[in-house]
A and B are shown apart, each in its own frame.
Chain A
C-alpha cells in the first residue's frame, strides 16, 4: 500500500536561504509523486510531478525535487527562499498508473519565511 510521510510539520527559513522540505514515500512499485502548494485561504496548486522520467524534477517558482529510490525520498528544495514562498506544502503519492488513480496526501509542511 502506498503512503507518504512529511517529516516536518513546520519549517522556518530566512529570506534568501535554501529551502528543504522532506518527504518519504512507501510504495510497492514505482510511484507517481507530486508536490502541491497551498497559500493561505487558497486552493492547491501543482508545483511539480515525478512520473518515472528524469529523477530531478523542476517545477514552478524555482522549486525542484529529486526522486531517490534507494532512500524512498522525494524532497522539495529551492536555492533561495522568497517571502512569497510562505505557504503549506503537500507531498502526494498516486496509487496506480491511470491518471485518475487515487492520490494520497501527506500531512503537510508549513513553510515560514523570516525577513
Chain B
C-alpha cells in the first residue's frame, strides 16, 4: 500500500547511544518532515526537507541530524541519545507546489525510550 513507512516501531536506547529512525514514502512527495510528539504538546517539527538534497531545521532540531539523498527516504539520526529524547516520532510527507493543498500523510510512528 502506498504511504509513509517508518521503522522501527519501538526502540529502547541507552543514554549516549546513536541510532537512525528510517522513513520512506512511495508517493513521490517532495516535502518530508519529522515530528516528535510529547504529552500535552502536540507535534513539534524537528527537521524538514523540500526536496532531495535540501534540508532545514524545524522548531526542535538539537540532537538530531537528517539527510535527503533520494526523494523516497528521509532518515532521522540521533547523535547521542538523551532521556529528553524519549518520545514518539512521526514522519510525514506531502506533495510540493503552490496553490493546491493535499494535506500531510503521516507514518505510524516510532516509540523511542532512552534509559
- Residues of A at the B interface (CB closer than 8 Å) are 9, 32, 34, 36, 42-46, 49, 51, 90, 94, 97-100, 102-103, 105-108
Smallest Cβ-Cβ distance to A47: which chain B residue: B103
User: Does B58 touch A at the CB level, under 8 Å?
Assistant: yes
B35 nearest in chain A by CB position: A105
Query: How big is chain B's contact interface, by range?
Result: 20 to 34
**What per-residue 1/0 map shows which CB atoms of B1-43 lie under 8 Å from chain A?**
0001000000000000000000000000011000100001111
How far is the CB of A26 from the nearest CB of chain B, in Å?
Answer: 15
Instruction: Give residues in B with beta carbon < 8 Å to A.
Output: 4, 30-31, 35, 40-45, 48, 50, 58, 90, 92, 94-109
CB-CB under 8 A from B104, the residues of chain A are 44, 46, 103
Contacts of A34 in B (CB 8 A): 103
Decide: A43 and B106 in contact? CB cutoff 8 A: yes
CB distance from B100 to the nearest CB of A (A): 6
Return B20 CB to nearest CB of chain A, in Å: 19
